[in-house]
Structures are given as structure tokens and as C-alpha cells.
Amino acid sequence: MNALIPRQPVPALNVTLLDGSRFVLGAEPGEHFDLLVFYRGLHCPVCAKYLLELERLMDDFTQRGVQVLALSSDTEERTREMAKKIKADKLRFAHGLSLMSARQWGLYISASRGKTSIGIEEPALFSEPGVFMVRPEGTLFYGATQTMPFSRPLLADLVGAIDFTLANDYPARGEYVGDV
């Protein structure tokens, strides 16, 4: 499992969006950040709730020069269903994230346990959640990963953190990799 290091380049990311175009991280970065929200998939009711909140806050992120993308290893059909479920109007979705790419981003991988509490079958393998903010030059500013769907970073707190960061030129932290 890879550990991403703040202020260092992040792995490549090239995924298909629901409109058929491609998102290539770094090709057209957000003014200040790209916010990448990796979610488990359509089978996850906690993900739907999180993405609903992300959709609600899209204008806040956009006004701060943050480009947002929600992505998973789900198929196009399942991703389209999730976008419809949360009534996505502004949030862009990508699908078909490879599990190898998920691993490169430091995401945990889970095996299916059948149908979830909402009656939707889990994929055979899927990645657990992660939230990353990437600077326009392609370096990691912020990263959080979970081993399960619960207790994700609060999106409203991220909006406040972006305000503080931009107002104070606050650096990415956690960059030290020397001996301790």
C-alpha cells in the first residue's frame, strides 16, 4: 500500500466522465485545487449521503477555485444511477477507476459481502473512500483515507480549511519523511 506524501507528486489519474469525456488530472487543474472524492459505489448508502452533501456545497468549492470530481470503480451504469440518486446537477462523476489506480492512491480495497442494507449487490472488489486535494502543479495538499464508509472528512470543514489556506498561504503538512 502506497502512502502519498504532501508536497510530492500524486499518481496519474485518467478516468472517463459520465458525459464520455476524460478527466486527466493536471491537464486542466482547478485554480487552487482539484478535490478528488473517491467513493465506494452505488451499493453504499453512506456514500450517497456524502455525495449529496458534496453536491450541495459545489458552489462553495467552485467559488474558491476548486475543481471537484467524484469517482469510483463502479461501471458507467452504476455511476449514472448514483448521480441520478443524489440529483447531481453540478458535481462531475467519473467511473471505471481501476483497482490498481485506487491502490496507487493509497485506498483500501474490500471484497464483496453480498447485498448491502439497501439491497444492492457490492462489486466483487471495490475501493474504500478517500478524499484528496491536489495543487495545480500536481502535488498532494491534503489526503484522508478510510477503511470503511464511516467518519469521513466533513465537507463544510474543508471549505473553511480552503479559506484559511488561501488567506494565510498555509502549506501542506505531513511532508517530513526523514528519520524520527
Q: Per-residue pLDDT tens for 3-27? A: 899 999 999 999 999 999 999 999 9
pLDDT average, residue stretch 84-102 = 98
* Domain locations along the chain: 14-166
Q: Which CATH class is domain 14-166?
A: alpha beta
The pLDDT confidence band at residue 2, using thresholds 50, 70 and 90, is low
Question: Is residue 78 scored above 80 in pLDDT?
Answer: yes
Question: Is residue 1 scored above 80 in pLDDT?
Answer: no
Question: Is residue 55 scored above 80 in pLDDT?
Answer: yes
Q: Per-residue pLDDT tens for 99-155? A: 999 999 999 999 999 999 999 999 999 999 999 999 999 999 999 999 999 999 999
Long-range contacts of 97-104 (CB under 8 A, 24+ apart): 97/15, 97/38, 97/71, 97/72, 97/73, 97/127, 98/73, 99/73, 99/125, 99/126, 99/127, 101/11, 101/12, 101/13, 102/38, 102/73, 102/127, 103/1, 103/2, 104/2, 104/11
**How confident is the model at residue 74, as a pLDDT?**
98
**pTM of the full structure:** 0.97
Among the listed residues 153, 135, 106, the one whose alpha carbon sits nearest the alpha carbon of residue 8: 135
Among the listed residues 70, 61, 116, the one whose alpha carbon sits nearest the alpha carbon of residue 93: 70
pLDDT average, residue stretch 36-48 = 98
Rounded CA separation 107/148 (Å)? 10
